[in-house]
Amino acid sequence: MMGYLIRKNWWIIGLVLLIAVIYFINENQLQEQQNEIRSEGFYSGEEINSPEAEASYVQIVVDNLITITDNVANISQYDFNNIPKNAKEFKLWGEPIKSELLNSNFDSAFTEIDTRYSSNFTTPSKFHSVNERLIKTLNETKNIEQALYTAIDNYNINDIPELAKRLQEQGESLKNLSNEIISIANQK
């Protein structure tokens, strides 16, 4: 009897199953979109100035700036005034610094900020004044970091102290920008 009803009404059962599949696909897509909005913080103009967007901006930028400035501080602890002249000693001296410069956290922190906030269109308007300087300072820091790595890798002893000093100054600039972002976030 059951088999007879199924055979007679197969198209109704098929239609119900098709509707169920479409419903679950749409539900999953909606859930994914909501998760993306939560992770990105904002998309549309209406959301840009929301408290959630501001919190997202501050959280992501400040956390990543802390990673970068901590890494710069670690590099600055090395003695760049007494660089060994002997090639073998220089290599031993330079390897840990090169490792710090290649630190994946350092690189991913730059990428995280740059990809999310390289344009004012994805930055809460409250932070537009600081965003351009932030991206500029990050790019300068990244260039100095790469130049320092190349100088150590190519045994350019004369360039290293100046590059290390500039990298340390960039670290201070990024720390100041981080404080400025926190200060803007705290303004009512």
pLDDT tens column, 47-58? 456 677 777 778
Q: For residue 64, is pLDDT > 80?
A: yes
What mean pLDDT value characterizes the chain?
A: 79
CA distance 86 to 163: 20
CATH class of 49-186: mainly alpha
What is the residue extent of each domain of the chain? 1-40, 49-186
